[in-house]
Amino acid sequence: MTGGFFSVLFLVMIGYLAYFTATSEQEMINNSYNSRQEILLSRNYRGTILDRNGEVLAETVVDDEQNETRVYPFANLFSHVVGYSTKGRMGVEALANYYLINTNTSLSNKAANDMAGVKNPGDTVYTTLDVQLQQVADSQLDIYKGAIVVTEVSTGKLLAMVSHPNFDPNKIEDIWDSLIEDENSTVLLNRASQGLYPPGSTFKIVTALEYIRENPDTYQGYSFQCVGYYKSGSNRISCYHGTNHGTVDFERSFAKSCNSSFANIGMGLDRGKFADTLKGLLFDEPLPLTLTYNRSSTAVSEEMPDADMMQTSIGQGKTQITPIHLNMITSAIANGGILMKPYVIDHVENDAGNVVKSFQPDSYGRLLSAEESTILKELMTAVVESGTATNLSGREYSAAGKTGSAEYNDNGDSHAWFTGFAPVDNPEICVTIIVEGAGSGGDYAVPIARRIFDAYFNQKK
């Protein structure tokens, strides 16, 4: 009896230890308080980071005197997503640190290196990133502040991630102090995953989803007379630039991004249920994301006052979202409702090119039903065909999406948003863009999306 009791106790403890070992090894090694990182780095050269076609994004160069330098051939281009490794770690340098500082070189190489008195080569990390798409995205964002996220719909692979302003990781040692000293500097912030923005009209995707959920049989019969503004009590919402949209149905309200109509829709929503939908779409929730990110937030609740509800339903007010989160929602719509977890490390190889570890696409689960995603796809197609993103129509590929012009001050200045995917029937890539302070999404973000889609589909030819 006593023997059995302690046997069980020990077996449980062994199970706990085995579970810990199986799940926590990387987390333990990557923790900056763990001195074993330095031990590994004293034995192995930091490994190379490549894009999905094998182009070098980061490598360690050793000179004749065994001095090691971390070199980033594309300088500023991948500053946030690949990151840096000397002043703390960021991006892939942080995520893949475990693989980069470990080696799986052959035993004979280890012996030879030991004899020669040199370190072993750390493992090579293949990312899902695409240099060409990154370059297009980066050049399109140009001098504007903002962010662009490009993902593969069916897998969640991160193809490009741009954040402006950026920095040159080759010079991180030199610029570090000035970046840290300047409290207003947001250069080190990865806007794509950490930047919190008002979603503006892109949020109408969410409002529309809630309306469809609450009125599954009648939403198609919806009609609204737009006079350029909507009033409820003393609260007033205007359409962008005061445009009068006339009589609009549900699809037209969405395609033309009619604020008045959406304020009207929002006022009719059940705020408690809306809060549940937002939770289901991961607002105020942790994202299934390995990159450093900030949580999106909303203030929707049963008790929310009308004024706030009107603002919220058109993506203004207290709602804040990161570009990567909006990309995940869009990509789930494109993917029939199922969210694929975004990931950036594709596989890890040793110096002989043998795969040490391979990462497979992983589904997070269903964010919305297949029918809901079909309806939203149709709405987003209308945006391109006859709405605010017609700049994307008439291409060799079909696209769908939603624009946004998120006002961030009282002067009517706005961030330009676009989030969408292509092709519509069998979506391959999902693009989310924010251009800070540029103006309307249709004018400033949609053309960028077009160039990225163009580049992607040209590349495929």
Partner 1 sequence: MKEYITEISRYVIVVLMIIYVLCSFLCLLDKLEKKRILYALQNLIMFVIQLLMFVDLALVSKDWEYVFLYGFVQVFLLAAAVIVPAIYDQCNRLLLNNMCMMLGVGICIISRISFDRAIRQYIIVLASLAVSLLIPWILSKIRFWRKLTWLYGSVGIVLLGTVLVLGEVTYGSKISFTISFAFGNVTFQPSEFVKIAFIFFLAAALWERVDFWRVALTAVIAGIHVVILVLSKDLGSALIFFVGYVFMVFAATRNYLYLLAGAVGGSGAAWVAYQLFAHVRTRVLAWRTPWEYIDSKGYAITQSLFAIGSGSWFGMGLLKGNPVAIPLVEQDFIFSSVCEELGVIFGICLMLLMLVCFLNMMKMALQIKDRFYQLIVYGIGIMYIFQIFLTIGGGMKFIPLTGVTLPFISYGGSSAMVTMIMFFLIQGIYIRLQQEKEKYHVSKTGNRAGETDTGKSSMVGTTGGAATTGQYRGTGASEEGKCKEEIQSSKQA
Binding site for partner 1 (CB under 8 A): 2-3, 6-7, 9-10, 13-14, 16-18, 20-21, 24-25, 27-29, 31, 33-36, 39, 107, 110-111, 114
* Contact partners, residue 171, CB within 8 Å, separation at least 6: none
CB of 14 to partner 1, least distance (A): 5
Do the beta carbons of residue 402 and residue 204 sit within 8 Å? yes
- Of 16 and 270, which CB lies nearer to partner 1 in the complex structure? 16
- Of 10 and 180, which CB lies nearer to partner 1 in the complex structure? 10
- Of 14 and 180, which CB lies nearer to partner 1 in the complex structure? 14
Q: How far apart are CA 206 and CA 186, in angstroms?
A: 29
CB of 144 to partner 1, least distance (A): 39
- Of 25 and 142, which CB lies nearer to partner 1 in the complex structure? 25
CB of 109 to partner 1, least distance (A): 9
CB of 32 to partner 1, least distance (A): 10
Label each residue of the chain as H, E or C: CHHHHHHHHHHHHHHHHHHHHHHHHHHHHHCCCCCHHHHHHCCEECCCEECCCCCEEEEEEECCCCCEEEECCCHHHHCCCCCCCCCCCCHHHHHCHHHHHCCCCCHHHHHHHHHHCCCEECCEEEECCCHHHHHHHHHHHCCCCEEEEEEECCCCEEEEEEEECCCCHHHHHHHHHHHHHCCCCCCCCCHHHHCCECCHHHHHHHHHHHHHHHCCCCHHHCEEEECCEEEECCEEEECHHHCCCEEEEHHHHHHCCCHHHHHHHHHCCCHHHHHHHHHHCCCCCCCCCCCCCCCCECCCCCCCCHHHHHHHHCCCCCCEECHHHHHHHHHHHHCCCEEECCECEEEEECCCCCEEEECCCCEEEECCCHHHHHHHHHHHHHHHHHCCCHHHCCCCCCCEEEEEEEECCCCCCEEEEEEEEECCCCCCEEEEEEECCCCCHHHHCHHHHHHHHHHHHHHHC
CB of 17 to partner 1, least distance (A): 5
CB atoms within 10 A of CB 242: 10
Nearest to 403 by CA among 417, 382, 420, 413: 417
- Of 105 and 261, which CB lies nearer to partner 1 in the complex structure? 105
Residue type at position 445: A
Count how many residues are written for the chain: 461
- Of 40 and 379, which CB lies nearer to partner 1 in the complex structure? 40
CB of 36 to partner 1, least distance (A): 4
- Of 98 and 254, which CB lies nearer to partner 1 in the complex structure? 98
CB of 45 to partner 1, least distance (A): 16
CB of 13 to partner 1, least distance (A): 5
CB of 15 to partner 1, least distance (A): 10
Q: What is the largest CA-CA distance in the chain?
A: 83
- Of 13 and 180, which CB lies nearer to partner 1 in the complex structure? 13
- Of 111 and 355, which CB lies nearer to partner 1 in the complex structure? 111
CB of 103 to partner 1, least distance (A): 11
CB of 106 to partner 1, least distance (A): 10
- Of 114 and 425, which CB lies nearer to partner 1 in the complex structure? 114
In the sheet that 414-422 helps form, which strands lie side by side, from edge to edge?
158-164, 146-152, 429-435, 414-422, 400-407
- Of 27 and 142, which CB lies nearer to partner 1 in the complex structure? 27
- Of 29 and 189, which CB lies nearer to partner 1 in the complex structure? 29
153 φ, ψ (degrees, to nearest 5): -65, -45
